[in-house]
Chain A
Amino acid sequence: MSTATATRRTEDGVEAPARRKLTPLRLLLHGFLITVALTWLFPIAWAVLTSLRSYEYTAANGYASFGGWTLDNYVTAWRTAEFGKHFLNSVYITVPAVLLTLFLASCVAFVIARFSWKLNLVLLGVFTAANLLPQQALLIPLFRLFTEVPLPEFMSDSELLYDSYWGLILINVAFQCGFCVFVLSNYMKALPRDLYEAAMVDGASIWRQYWQVTMPLCRPALAALATLEVTWIYNEFFWATVLMRTGDKFPVTSSLNNLRGEFFTDNNLVSAGSVLVAIPTLVIFFMLQRHFVRGLTLGASKG
């Protein structure tokens, strides 16, 4: 609430809305919104609460009780589910995938925005639509493709694209490029054209125009997209589930499903595991909330 007060602005001399008198209608509105907000927070709060209580206590007193505080669930969950390893796997996949997505998407977006060729619209469509196709519909040929493409052993111990980090990175990049091309090309189109005229007078090559003129100006959009893509690729569940086989190589989100067997009778452990998996995205969300929201709305307001 304090952040809201801090960011409140007075616009054009209009009295700040929050200082308006509290009519009964407003009170009702606030009551309704507080109820909804708390309801929405509840499942997460409950998961945190459950994770902090010992199984013995909740088994004896039921979950609708209070007490039995402990941090042991986290220790046990971390150890049994080998979260350290799986988090590392997520990093191996997410970091290269996000960097590659932003790089490739910004290249295409630059060409689309910089030139006014008729084909640009088709290009934009090809990329944007690819992002929206249901992944499951492409699984059958992709599965076969992944089991056919060989990789040298130093790249993957499966010696195939299947069951390798490379495969997952590539498929994530291919899928996420579309959204980034769409957002970035819109952003780049809004940059003043004079920049390029000036750069061309200076004899700057296309690559330098892209790398030294356009990209620095796109920092806000790139930051927003990076935040969003890290969350999405970290959260990606389907591809890792079907294109990976070795349990040790699963990124954290898809390793969740294997926890079920290990934790099946102990909801307190399940909640501790869930909270652990949620922590990276929640940290990103609270630290970079501005970027996160901007990324989504950049995509939305124009598409």
Chain B
Amino acid sequence: MSDLPLIQADRAVPPPAATTSTGGRRRRLRLLSRTDRVVITLMVLVPLLLVTGFVWLPAVATVLLSGTNWDGIGPLNEIEFVGARNYSDVVNIYPPFVPAIQHNLLWLAALFVVATPFGMFLAVLLDKELRGSRFYQTALYLPVVLSLALIGFVWQLLYSRDQGLINAVFGSNVDWYGDSSVNIWAVMVASGWRHVGYIMLLYLAGLKGVDPSLREAAAVDGASESRTFFRVVFPVMRPINIIVLVVTVIESLRAFDLVWVVNKGRNGLELISALVTQNVVGEASRIGFGSALATIMLVVSLVFITIYLATVMRENRQ
């Protein structure tokens, strides 16, 4: 594919000469003028303040608020710490919580067991430089450029009870988005539709980066194609495999837009992300409560973000 010379170029260029030796560094620092030092500070500080102020401080505040009884309106000095009460309330007296956890796990399972492997499988097939490979790829990642909110509307045309294509063709009378026993599956199909293309794209890029001589050696040894893939290519792709795994987990944790456009995450479509939002912008603003839910999300995502960072940083150092 002609899209990837950059990555291969990245790989081909030897890493820049190390400048970490103390002598070299001291010389370099002394070479910087005062203006240079001010400029460097500003170049880092402005973006850093923005990210800290809008992402990291709110993340810390969420964790802190989850231990309080703040109502979201009153002055901040009336806040009382209530320990883990919000968490026990979430688990014990909040009916949508258990379904939401189940749906998030189901979402993860569906992406992980069906959509992600299917995307990987298609990438392996498309890696063969077939005739028309470009057409297949385009068709598969076309959904990736659409927003999930829009995807909700596009699939409504298939799912709607009275005007949807599925019911018209099969003569059924199911309200795919409305019936709480099927709507989570309907939404997951729409989400998987997009996810497959995304994973295919990521994995295909990874496959293009695999040293072809590995495959040639396996072929000389008489290994079959599937054996070559599982025994040689797949293990070499370990970093990409981890990235694909993390992307899948994060996507399923962040799933929100689709259920929000369907019914704001109620009636069969409860997700943690939707519950948090309901508790802030909905009629009842329960801040401590919502923060406890948000903290659960944060903790799970941070575990996988750490795995992700460890993987990509190790890759970079090599």
Interface residues of A (CB under 8 A from B): 1, 3-5, 7-9, 17-18, 26, 29-30, 32-34, 36-38, 40-41, 43-44, 46-47, 50, 58, 62-64, 104-105, 107-108, 110-111, 115-118, 121, 123-130, 132-145, 170-171, 173-175, 177-178, 181-182, 186-187, 189-190, 192-193, 200, 205-207, 210, 220-221, 231, 234-238, 241-242, 253-254, 256-257, 260, 267, 270-271, 273-274, 277-278, 281-282, 284-285, 289-290, 292-294, 296-298, 300-303
Contacts and interface: CB of A to CB of B under 8 A. Distances in A.
Nearest to B310: A125
Given A126-B51, A136-B294, 11 more contacts: A9-B2, A33-B125, A44-B143, A58-B163, A107-B44, A140-B287, A141-B58, A234-B147, A253-B149, A257-B260, A292-B145
B221 interface: no
Contacts of A43: 143, 154-155, 157-158, 193
Given A4-B134, A277-B150, A300-B205, A294 B6 contact: yes
B39 A206 contact: yes
Contacts of A8: 129, 131
A130 B145 contact: no
A274 B309 contact: no
A133 B301 contact: yes
A237 B257 contact: yes
Contacts of A32: 125
Interface in B1-41: 2-4, 6-7, 9-10, 13, 15-20, 25, 28, 31-33, 35-36, 39-40
Contacts of B83: none
A50 B157 contact: yes
B260 A108 contact: no
Interface in B28-81: 28, 31-33, 35-36, 39-40, 43-44, 46-48, 50-59, 61-62, 65, 72
Interface in B119-160: 122, 125-126, 128-136, 138-150, 153-158, 160
B44 A171 contact: no
A47 B281 CA distance: 32
B149 A237 contact: yes
B179 to A, nearest CB: 18
B197 A40 contact: yes
Given A136-B294, A290-B3, A174 B51 contact: yes
B209 interface: yes
Given A47-B157, A142-B58, A190-B10, A136 B256 contact: yes
Contacts of B140: 36-37, 40
Given A46-B157, A177-B47, A302-B315, A297 B7 contact: yes
A109 B20 CA distance: 18
Contacts of A303: 243, 308, 311-312, 315-316
Interface of A is mostly: helix
Contact of B301 (A121, A134, A140, A236): A134
A104 B50 CA distance: 10
Contact of A142 (B13, B54, B145, B316): B54
A242 to B, nearest CB: 5
B301 A137 contact: yes
B201 A293 contact: yes
B146 A281 contact: yes
B243 to A, nearest CB: 6
Contacts of B116: none
